[in-house]
Amino acid sequence: MKKSIYFAIFILIIILLIIPATTTFADGDFTFNPSLEFRGEYDDNINFDNKNEISGWLGVFIPSLKARWQTPRLNVNGSAAAEIRRFTSETQFDDEYQRYKIDTSYQLLERLNIEAGASYTKDSTLDSELEETGIVENLYGRDRYTLSTGVHYQLGERVATNLNYNYGDTSYDSPFNSDYNSHSVVGSISYLFRNQRDQVFLQPSYYYYESDNNKVNNYEFSLGWNRALSETLNLSCYVGCRYTDSEYFYDIYVPVFDPEHGIIWQKRKISANETDFGGTADMSLSGKTETLTYKIAYNRDLSYTSDGNPIDRDKFTGSIGWRITERLRSGFDCGLYFSKANDDFSNEDSTYFYLHPHLSYRLYKNHHLQLHYRYARTKDDTLKENDTYDRSRVWLALVLNFPKLLD
C-alpha cells in the first residue's frame, strides 16, 4: 500500500513540475484510444511444468486505454490496461493483471529537452520473467514499479548528448523468489554524419542490483552505429564490454557452546565477492516494403533472475508482418534464448525458444478478429530428468478499438 501511495505522489509531482504554469489544457490536442479485447484460449500446459502438465480453456478480457496530450513544447503519453483471466475448470489459475504507464517530455530550451516517466505492472513470473530472461519460472504474482528521468541536450547541428536515470522495484508473491531493486545511469554522446544516414554513439552505463542474496555493480561501455541503408531499411549495432563486481550473502551454521544446552548450531550470514568481465551487444536490422514489415535482432547482456542471481543472456528475435489484402494480414514472431549463470553460486543453464504465427482480419474500420498460435519449448540442463518440455497455446480474439479526438 505504501508503494502505491508513493507512486501516486511521484506521478503528481511529475505533472506539477514538468508542465509550466503558462500551459493550459486548451493549448494542446488531447487524444485517447480505448479498446476492448475478448479472447477464448486453450493452453495445454498452463503452468509450463515439466512433470505435472495441466491443460484447460480460459477466457480473457482486456480493457485498455491510451491517451496523449501534445502541445508545441509538451508531450504526455499514458496508458492503462487490465487483463482478467478466468479458467473454465482450473480456477486456481484465475488472475487479474494490471499495467499503467506515463511518459512526459518537455522542450525546456531550444536545445534542451527533459523527460520523466513512471510505470506499475502487476503480472506473473511465468509471463514476465520468461520474456526478460528466457527462464521458465513457477506461476506466481509479480509487482514492479519503475521511475525514470532523462535529459537530452543538442550540442550542435550533428552532436547530441543524453543522460538517463532509471529506478525499478520488483517484488514477488512467492517465498522462493528474491525481491530486488535496481538503479541505472546511462549516458551517451552521438554524432550525425553529413550524409544524414550514419550516426555513431559512445555510451557509458552503470547498473546496480540489490536483494537479500546479493549486491551487483555492473559497469558497461558501448560503441554504437546506426545507418539508414535505404529509405526503408535500417541497421543498428551496439557492441561493448562490461565489468561486474558482485557481493553474495549466504548462511552457514557454526558450532557454538551454550552453557545450558552445550554445543548448538548457530546460523550466521557471511559474504563473498566475485568479479567478472564480459561482452555486450545489441544489433537489429529492420525494413519494410509495400506489403511486408520485418525485423531481426540480437541482444547479449547481463540479466537478473527472480531468485536473485545475475545471468548472461543471449537473445535472438525475429518478426515479419504481411499485408495480404486490405482486410487480411498475417504475421510470424520467433525467439531463441541462451541463459547461463554468471556466478559460482548458482547453476542456471537453459535454452528456450518460441514460435508465434498469427492472422488478423479487419471486420469493420478499427475492429479485428485475430487467430494466434504460440509454441514454446525449453531445455533446462540443470535437471537430471525431464529436462526438455514444451507448451502450446491457441486463441481467437475479438479486438475492438475506439479512436477518438477531443479538441
Q: Tell me: the pLDDT tens digits for 286-341?
A: 999 999 999 999 999 988 888 777 889 999 999 999 999 999 999 999 999 999 98
Q: What is the pLDDT of residues 202-257, one digit of tens each?
A: 999 999 999 888 899 999 999 999 999 999 999 999 999 999 998 887 666 667 76
CATH number of the domain within which 365 lies = 2.40.160
> If you average pLDDT over residues 92-121, what whole number do you get?
93
> Domain span at residue 63?
2-406
Three cell numbers, residue 114: 527533459
Q: Where are the beta strands (DSSP E) in 5-55?
A: 29-43
Q: Are 75 and 104 a contacting pair, CB within 8 Å?
A: yes
Burial 144-176 (b: 16+ CB within 10 A, else e): bbbbbbbebbeeeeeebebebebbbbbebeeee
Of 356, 351, 352, whose CA–CA distance to 375 is shortest? 356
**pTM of the full structure:** 0.86
DSSP 349-389: EEEEEEEEEEEEEEEETTEEEEEEEEEEEEEETT-SSS-EE
Task: Give the number of domains in the chain.
Answer: 1
DSSP string for residues in 240-301: EEEEEEEEEEEEEEEEEEETTTEEEEEEEEEEEEEEEEEEEEEEEEEEE-SSEEEEEEEEEE
> What contacts 179, CB < 8 A, 6 or more positions away?
170, 171, 172, 211, 212
Distance CA 305, CA 66 (A): 30
129 in Cβ contact with 142 (< 8 Å): yes
Containing 307, the helix (H) or strand (E) segment is: none
> In which region does residue 330 sit, left (phi positive, over 0), alpha (psi from -120 to 50) or beta (all else)?
beta
* One-letter amino acid of 317: T
**Segment 331-369, tens digit of pLDDT:** 999 999 999 987 776 788 999 999 999 999 999 888 999
The pLDDT tens digits for 4-28 are 445 544 554 554 444 444 444 556 7
Query: Using an 8 Å Cβ cutoff, are 158 and 145 in contact?
Result: no
